[in-house]
Structure 1
Amino acid sequence: MNGPKDPTFSKKNKTLKKLKDQVIVITGASSGIGLVTARMAASKGAKVVAAARNEDALKELVEELRGKGYHATWVKADVGREEDVNNIAETAIKEFGRFDTWVNNAGVSIFGHAMDVTNEDIKRMFETNFWGVVYGTKAAVNHFKDRDVPGALINVGSLFGDRGTVIQSTYAAAKFAVHGWTESIRMELEKEKVPVSVTLIHPGRIDTPYNEHARSYLEKQPAHRGMLYPPKAVAEAILFAAENPKRDMYIGSQAKALKVFGTFLPRLTDKLMEVVMYPTQQANRPSKPREESALYHAGYGLHERGTNIGWKRSCSLYVKATKHPILSTIAVASIGATLWAAAKRKS
């Protein structure tokens, strides 16, 4: 799994490469966030290593990208299997000589009360959502250490990794584990002075096939209802972090707000979640049979969007503000000054 060492490496130089000069590994690349990220990364000049369980979807994706003149390869992999994850790294090195960014994106959810979900299903979900991140982290960090070059490790968490929820309680537990792992490994690498940028992505409600792929213990089909963000907003955040060291990227003000309210007003947040989350995580149609879920086998691929219901935003202003904090501060200050001046004139 080792690539060639970079003679230009310096412990003081932690600058990440521009996307056009990068090889980027993306797990869960056959649909949703991973699919959009793969397409966007390729369009910006990056060489893409797309990994997922759906081999047919991966082949079609790579053919699509190569047909546009982009560089891409695919790896059929179940991230819950360490040997599969190591094969992703080996394929990237064999095909492109290295990789510069690793995105742990693959994930699956379970909708149902925690006491109803079988332990077998919970363990399987943790294999994908948590152990897949652990295996991917180790493969990526070992590669960056072996090459002695700065690299980016990007783990996709969730707003439910910052604050627990009902119905997706077991999924929230897995994402809490991902958040804890990411924060801990970041500190250890910093203490060792290993030049790896570790970013945690905090998506809000995203309009992807995530709910269709989930295993359901509900009578009604899982679905997001309410304000939704497009998967391209998450891809935008991921690719920004691939070039710019960032600790956290929140997709949507709802993700940041839930963390803040959950931290400072936990009891009130409990009550709000108990009221709001039941009707906003289900559609008004019967739930699909559990065996059709993507928990144990690949779900359908090449769909960026899902069957969710609500206000579908075209972008995340919060992501754009995070990318340009100085301009955003100036804009907010200018708006505030204008409103203050108007109020003063009226008085």
Structure 2
Amino acid sequence: MDTKRVVVITGGASGIGQETALKFASKGDRVVVADYNEAGGQETVELIAKAGGEAAFIKVDVSKHEDVQALVEKTVEIFGRIDVMFNNAGIGGAGPVLDQNMDLYHRTIAINQHGVAYGIIEAGRKMKELGIKGVIINTASVFGFLASYGTFAYHATKGAVIMMSKSAALELAPYGIRVVAIAPGVVDTPIIQGFKDRGMLEGMKAKVMGGELTKPEAIAKSVYLLSLEEAEAITGSVVMVDQGYAGFK
């Protein structure tokens, strides 16, 4: 019997998602790289294949429920199961509260909040159906707790991810399905560019251990650890992976 886990990672074309895909694959898990960015997604699959791992790319727009439904179904068609769902796809904020571009506001909510909700719902349904005691991990942020300038919509979505994770963990516990949120701080990904443009980055870096941006591979390691059986007591929690950002003055 094949005991390899199957892991779905949204936003797997770059940044935290790509590094997490590489991490799981390096440990022998089979990975579905899900992203709207086909070139980046295929690049991640190729990197995994070159390292001797097994992966498949599935194009998805997480803001569309039907796309996320299809992602989960195609995953099971390809690999027969789904053990870990990492709802990681996201975009930056939509500007200061009084200067909202409403199209971008709605897009931010659709991707960062609704996309995670669809992932929780569809992965949870499939895990229950297959009798798999799986793990759903969602990317929140320290900015689900802390305010900053110019990211009004982003804050709203990450606060929502935190509470959706807690609520889903409560409801899915009877099926042995864990739900956990991670809260990265200032990570070296394209989303951080907005803070750099506003001259805020140096002040943010001063608040983290070591005074530098967190590398995406460090977040990937934490996600992998949370997926393991050894983390079986962790559910309904928000795990801070921020190098102390939220706790330092």
Match of 2:163 among 160, 180, 185: 180
Following superposition of structure 1 onto structure 2, how do residues 109-188 of structure 1 map, counting pairs within 5 Å? 109-110=92-93, 112-188=95-171
1:77 matched to which residue of 2?
60
Name the CA distance, whole Å, in 2 between partners of 1:135 and 1:56: 24
Q: Which amino acid aligns with 1:40?
A: K
* 1:226-259 per-position Cα deviation (integer Å, ceiling 9, x unaligned): 231111111111111111232332113434416x
Q: Which amino acid aligns with 1:224?
A: L
CA positional deviation for 1:165:
2.2
Name the CA distance, whole Å, in 2 between partners of 1:143 and 1:222: 44
* Residue 185 (structure 2) pairs with residue 204 (structure 1): yes
Name the CA distance, whole Å, in 1 between partners of 2:161 and 2:17: 17
CA positional deviation for 1:161:
0.5
- Give SS of 1:75's match: strand
1:343 matched to which residue of 2?
none
Q: Which amino acid aligns with 2:217?
A: K
CA RMSD of the aligned region, Å?
A: 2.2
- Give SS of 2:74's match: helix
2:221 matched to which residue of 1?
236
1:11 matched to which residue of 2?
none
Match of 1:195 among 145, 161, 176: 176
Structure exhibiting the larger radius of gyration computed from Cα positions: 1
* 1:83-142 per-position Cα deviation (integer Å, ceiling 9, x unaligned): 111121122111110110000000001252111012221111100000000100011100
Q: 1:211, 1:223 within 8 Å by CA — same for their partners in 2?
A: no
Match of 2:79 among 75, 96, 99: 96
Name the CA distance, whole Å, in 2 between partners of 1:156 and 1:222: 25
Query: Judging changes above 3 Å, is the alpha-carbon distance between structure 1 residues 222 and 21 closer, same or farther for their aligned structure 2 residues?
Result: farther
Q: 1:45, 1:70 within 8 Å by CA — same for their partners in 2?
A: yes
CA positional deviation for 1:60:
2.2
Runs of 4+ in 1 over 6 A off after TM superposition: none
- Give SS of 2:98's match: coil
Q: 2:186, 2:192 within 8 Å by CA — same for their partners in 1?
A: no
Following superposition of structure 1 onto structure 2, how do residues 200-279 of structure 1 map, counting pairs within 5 Å? 200-212=181-193, 220=197, 224-225=201-202, 226=205, 227=211, 228-243=213-228, 244-245=231-232, 246=234, 247-257=237-247
Name the CA distance, whole Å, in 1 between partners of 2:200 and 2:178: 34
* Residue 52 (structure 2) pairs with residue 54 (structure 1): no
CA positional deviation for 1:178:
1.0
Q: Which amino acid aligns with 2:214?
A: Y
Name the CA distance, whole Å, in 1 between partners of 2:239 and 2:29: 21
Name the CA distance, whole Å, in 2 between partners of 1:78 and 1:221: 29
CA positional deviation for 1:222:
7.4
- Give SS of 1:108's match: coil
* 1:189-214 per-position Cα deviation (integer Å, ceiling 9, x unaligned): 23xx12111111010111112234x6
Unaligned ranges ≥5, structure 2: 206-210
> Could you tell me the TM-score, scaled by structure 1's length?
0.64
CA positional deviation for 1:80:
0.3
Query: Judging changes above 3 Å, is the alpha-carbon distance between structure 1 residues 37 and 145 closer, same or farther for their aligned structure 2 residues?
Result: same
Name the CA distance, whole Å, in 1 between partners of 2:103 and 2:25: 37
Q: Which amino acid aligns with 1:250?
A: M
1:263 matched to which residue of 2?
none
- Give SS of 2:112's match: helix
- Give SS of 2:86's match: strand
Query: Judging changes above 3 Å, is the alpha-carbon distance between structure 1 residues 222 and 209 closer, same or farther for their aligned structure 2 residues?
Result: farther
Query: Judging changes above 3 Å, is the alpha-carbon distance between structure 1 residues 224 and 29 closer, same or farther for their aligned structure 2 residues?
Result: farther
Name the CA distance, whole Å, in 1 between partners of 2:200 and 2:70: 34
Q: 1:111, 1:222 within 8 Å by CA — same for their partners in 2?
A: no
Number of aligned residue pairs: 235
Q: 1:158, 1:203 within 8 Å by CA — same for their partners in 2?
A: yes
Q: 2:94, 2:108 within 8 Å by CA — same for their partners in 1?
A: no
